[in-house]
Amino acid sequence: MPLLSMKSCAKVNLGLRIVGKRSDGYHDVETILQTIDLSDEIEIDETSAGIEVVCDTPGVPEGQENLAFAAAKMTLEAADSTRGVRIKIDKKIPSGGGLGGASSNAAATIKGLNRLFDLGLDEEKMCGIARILGSDVPFFIRGGTALATGRGDRLQRMDVKKQLNLVVVFPGFPISTGWAYQKANSGLTRPDFDIKILASALERGDLSTLCKRLYNSFEEVVFGHYPDLFDMKKMMLQLGALGALLSGSGSCVFCVVEGRDSGRTIVSQFTKEGLAAWETTTC
């Protein structure tokens, strides 16, 4: 039995606008980040020395190539700890799907080591480590719902009481976030999109307004290169979804559904098409 086992939740973007490119090479964005209960499992064991990261899912890097390795190294160094650890990642979140799997794993590693070894790092210190690792990582330290600005690391927590029922579909191939940003043009952003209206609808539990206002700047370029993803979104709406959207830079497309029966119907249809689909909820 591992000393510590914990969930590492995926996220979806309930709206995303690319504001523009920054002088440091990153892009400024406005997005609503939301954790969902589709998750990986992170197991942490103490070893005599060093850091080991293992994962038996093909295509997922191990050792120093995995972001969890850097997360472990920086966390232990921040606490002046010389403990050895073995981190095992049981993947359920598809890689390259726009669901933040690697960032979530890194955040779970930071939190897990802090808890397991009683390192005494507060949330601010953990977020400081997370910010160095990647734009999405600070969000996963706490999870839930947040309005993110800057390069996605400036977070404003949101008070959302209504749990959303979602279906997430993975087309079977990843999309590089770097490629998507390189191809995306901030000028394509819909001029009437207002993230604050979307955030307000979400906090009020107003599904009608929320689903009408769903928007993602990446859809223009990603759907242009991968028309099958647009077809997935269209199919979700035809099957009764209240709203559908590309998550992050893709490749996953998700939809908001009325309830579990509707979700099961949509999952069943995509499964028949040979695609991986999950019925899930916000958390």
Summarize pLDDT for 221-278 with one digit per residue, the tens: 999 999 999 999 999 999 999 999 999 999 999 999 999 899 999 999 999 999 999 9
Tokens at 264, concatenated: 């099961």
The SS3 assignment for 74 reads helix
Which secondary-structure segment (H or E) carries 240? none
pLDDT score, position 185: 67
Q: Which domains does the chain have, with CATH numbers?
A: 4-157 (3.30.230.10), 165-281 (3.30.70.890)
Q: Yes or no: say if 159 and 275 are a contact pair by the CB < 8 Å rule.
A: no
Instruction: With CA atoms as reference, report the closest residue to 10 among 43, 42, 34.
Output: 34
pTM of the model: 0.94
Q: Yes or no: say if 117 and 81 are a contact pair by the CB < 8 Å rule.
A: yes
pLDDT score, position 23: 82
List CB contacts of 232: < 8 A, sequence separation 6 or more. 169, 171, 253, 270, 275
Q: Yes or no: say if 176 and 182 are a contact pair by the CB < 8 Å rule.
A: no
261 assigned to active site: no
Residues tagged in the binding site annotation for ATP = 94-104
Following DSSP, what letter does each residue of 100-152 receive, concatenated?
-HHHHHHHHHHHHHHHHTT----HHHHHHHHHHH-SSHHHHHH-SEEEEETTT
pLDDT score, position 20: 83
Catalytic residue among 88, 136, 153, 233: 136
Residues tagged in the binding site annotation = 94-104
Below-70 pLDDT ranges, the chain = 1-2, 185-191
37 assigned to active site: no
Instruction: With CA atoms as reference, report the closest residue to 98 among 168, 165, 186.
Output: 168
The SS3 assignment for 195 reads helix
Catalytic residue among 11, 88, 91, 111: 11
Summarize pLDDT for 101-117 with one digit per residue, the tens: 999 999 999 999 999 99
Q: From residue 265, how far is each of 12, 16, 236, 278 by CA, in Å?
A: 21, 27, 10, 11
